[in-house]
Amino acid sequence: MVHVLRRLLSVGEASDVVAAAPPVSPREVFRRFWPYTRGGRRWFAPIVLFSLIGPALDATEIWLFKIVVDDVLVPRDVGPLLWIAPTYMGLILGSGILGFADDVTSTWVSERFLLTLRSDVFRHVQGLSLGFFERRRLGDVLSRVTGDVDTVETFLLSGVADALYYVIRLGVFLGLLFYLQWDLTLLALVIVPLFWRAARHFSRLIKEASRERRRRSGSISAIAEESLGNVALVQAYNRQKWEERRFERENVGRFRATMASTRIRAVYGSVVEVIEVSGVLAVMSLGTWKLAQGQLTLGGLLVFLALIGNLYSPVRGLSHLGTTFYAASAAAERIIELLDQRPQVVEAAGARRIGRARGDLEFDGVSFRYPGTPSWALSDVSFHVAAGETLALVGASGAGKSTVAKLQLRFYDPDRGAVRLDGTDLRDLSLSDLRESVAVVLQETLVFHGTVRDNIAYGRPEATEADIVAAARAADAHEFIELLPEGYDTMVGQRGRTLSGGQRQRLAIARAMIRDAPVLLLDEPTTGLDARSGRRIMDPLRRLMAGRTTVVISHNLLTVRDATRIVVLDQGRIVECGAHDDLLERGGTYARLHRLNALTGAAPAGPSAPKTVLP
């Protein structure tokens, strides 16, 4: 029997697509989320008032019923109905108006709460360092920002409002019952401890099931986001079935958890009913005896039984609320875990504002390791780029080139050494000033869902139409944009899928162009372009680089030749450094790379040279 019951109430086996958040006590949940109620607190008093008036009206209604039985039905006298009928009507109208006011205010308060909390969670997550997003599954984060936030509301507001409502009802009806028949009331109360015991036991089970359910929801979003986001890869490699199975596994997990929680609730509902009916039966037996003894009128007994129903309903409500509370706290834990994430990169207290930087950039003995990895991505890297100069970073894949770019943007802080802009350590610099000073064209071109115009203006939202066209012209993008169906108003799909690689790249160059920042960071600006397109963006790139400090990362030695200095990285270390001709003469790594480049046909001026990828 116990075994069957346990099976019935178990949640199912765990999986680990998304880990469960650490448990948090209800008190802590309150402490954390209370501040978000600030906008709605002035409505708390009216809501309490409504919950006071409500039961009073209900009690009056029941009282009228007693009068109808004892003064109208039993003596068969219509007279009192003359005042009872209009009073009853008035009560019903009053309840209606009260219900309306109560609904509107409490919804307002809880929706305000959600508004503040959701914006705040979003702001917080957006402020987290790149490292967080490189480790976490985006889909799970999304499900926390959307789904879990909603559930927290039931914990804090609806939950508390309901609790208050129940407690007040309990008080009112208990008082009335004691006033009517104290001995019957005491008998009715005997079962209350049983209610609590059942509630405690079942809420624990509910909490477990809810936790599992929230976690599975996160996994479902994570998998959906990953497979739908990479749909081209999935289809090209025929992995649809596999992805479906992965998705289904989590879906089934959520299904099981939901079913478990439904079973738990249903069993709980029946248990509660049994307890309740036994209470009512006990009261009824004693009541009938008192009726027979003439200590009680029929109306009195009926009213008492009706009131008992009203007494049990808040008790039941309160114990049910326990289970809702626990379900909501499972969601709260996931939000709290998110809110507890601290950005690894934070602006120093007295961060220096520099306004527009000159663009003097320096890496001084920089060593860096990605959090949680054993090997150094960069070790003891030093170089200096004076304002207006161009530095090229070359090296094999995985040598640490993009890592240099991330440190330069202060997406991470170095473990040793320092990165400086205009002689100031980036850690002492205002983050927004730093990022204001740098324009980037990254290895993966980032394009937003929106019009071509929006995408260019993203670099400087206040840019005028003329600025946008000028930037597009300089980036050699104007022509192709004009040919798009709606020109600058053409929508580019999410991640710019409706554009070609080269077009996306030129859009990114236009965006960097319009930003007009003193420092320019180009990570593989010719990625994904064939030789002709690669050469085609050389001119716009040169225009972009003119007069700015530029760090260009490239496999393509074409882009590198113009650089004032070339730094060759190998496994996070600088192995060579110098101008193009010097390095060729030295006959080291760079010369070898260059020779390879020439061999594969990507000699600097070769008209149909394919894009070269170094080993």
Ligand X SMILES: Nc1ncnc2c1ncn2[C@@H]1O[C@H](COP(=O)(O)OP(=O)(O)OP(=O)(O)O)[C@@H](O)[C@H]1O
Question: Quick one: 514 or 560, whose CB is closer to ligand X?
Answer: 560
Q: With CB under 6 A, what is the number of residues at the site for ligand X? A: 13
15 binds, among ligand X, Mg ion, none (CB under 5 to 8 A by kind): none
Kind plus residue range of the DSSP H or E element containing 111: helix 81-126
Q: Does 414 bind ligand X (CB under 6 A)?
A: no
Backbone region of residue 440 per phi and psi (left: phi > 0; alpha: psi in -120 to 50; beta: other values): beta
By Cβ distance, which residue is nearest to Mg ion? 402
Is the CB of residue 208 less than 8 Å from the CB of residue 216? no
| Smallest separation, CB 530 to Mg ion (Å) | 20
Distance CA 520, CA 555 (A): 18
Cα 360–chain centre separation: 38
397 binds, among Mg ion, ligand X, none (CB under 5 to 8 A by kind): ligand X
Instruction: Name the 3-class secondary structure at 567.
Output: strand
Question: Quick one: 141 or 399, whose CB is closer to Mg ion?
Answer: 399
Is the CB of residue 148 less than 8 Å from the CB of residue 214? yes
445 binds, among Mg ion, ligand X, none (CB under 5 to 8 A by kind): none
Is the CB of residue 314 less than 8 Å from the CB of residue 174? no
Instruction: Name the 3-class secondary structure at 53.
Output: helix
Q: Does 589 bind ligand X (CB under 6 A)?
A: no
| Smallest separation, CB 409 to ligand X (Å) | 13
Distance CA 352, CA 134 (A): 28
Q: Does 278 bind ligand X (CB under 6 A)?
A: no
| Smallest separation, CB 379 to ligand X (Å) | 11
| Smallest separation, CB 527 to ligand X (Å) | 9
Q: What is the DSSP letter of 175?
A: H
Which of 9, 191, 198, 377 binds ligand X (CB under 6 A)? It is 377
Cα dist. 588→300, 581, 594 in Å? 105, 12, 10
Distance CA 365, CA 382 (A): 5
| Smallest separation, CB 443 to Mg ion (Å) | 5
Q: Does 134 bind ligand X (CB under 6 A)?
A: yes
| Smallest separation, CB 404 to ligand X (Å) | 7
The contact mask relative to ligand X for 428-467 (x = CB under 6 A, - = no) is ---------------x------------------------
Q: Does 402 bind ligand X (CB under 6 A)?
A: yes
- 77 CB contacts (<8 Å, ≥6 apart)? 71
* Among 143-151, 220-228, 268-276, 398-406, the segment contacting ligand X (CB under 6 A): 398-406
Q: Does 399 bind ligand X (CB under 6 A)?
A: yes
Radius of gyration of the chain (CA): 35
Question: Quick one: 94 or 131, whose CB is closer to ligand X?
Answer: 131
The 10 Å Cβ neighbour count of residue 5 is 11
| Smallest separation, CB 393 to ligand X (Å) | 8
Site residues for Mg ion per CB under 5 A: 402
| Smallest separation, CB 402 to Mg ion (Å) | 3
Which of 400, 414, 417, 525 binds ligand X (CB under 6 A)? It is 400
| Smallest separation, CB 263 to ligand X (Å) | 43
Which of 106, 110, 390, 403 binds ligand X (CB under 6 A)? It is 403
Is the CB of residue 95 less than 8 Å from the CB of residue 57? yes
Q: Does 541 bind ligand X (CB under 6 A)?
A: no
Question: Quick one: 212 or 523, whose CB is closer to ligand X?
Answer: 523
589 binds, among Mg ion, ligand X, none (CB under 5 to 8 A by kind): none
| Smallest separation, CB 596 to ligand X (Å) | 15
Output the six-digit token pair for 491. Answer: 């929508």
Q: Does 374 bind ligand X (CB under 6 A)?
A: no
Q: C-alpha angle 559/529/566, rounded to 5°?
A: 20
- 213 CB contacts (<8 Å, ≥6 apart)? 254, 257, 258, 261, 330
| Smallest separation, CB 50 to ligand X (Å) | 53
Distance CA 94, CA 54 (A): 9
134 binds, among ligand X, Mg ion, none (CB under 5 to 8 A by kind): ligand X
Which of 66, 118, 144, 401 binds ligand X (CB under 6 A)? It is 401
Kind plus residue range of the DSSP H or E element containing 568: strand 565-570
Q: What is the DSSP letter of 579?
A: -
Instruction: Name the 3-class secondary structure at 553.
Output: strand
Question: Quick one: 294 or 372, whose CB is closer to ligand X?
Answer: 372
Cα dist. 285→280, 296, 306, 427, 461 in Å? 9, 13, 15, 79, 78
Question: Quick one: 185 or 403, whose CB is closer to ligand X?
Answer: 403
Pairing outcome for strands 438-441 and 565-570: unpaired
* Among 90-98, 251-259, 390-398, 451-459, the segment contacting ligand X (CB under 6 A): 390-398
| Smallest separation, CB 614 to ligand X (Å) | 9
Angle between helical axes of 159-180 and 44-67 (0-180°, round to 10): 30
Applying CB under 6 A, the residues found at the interface with ligand X are 134, 370, 373, 377, 395, 397-403, 443
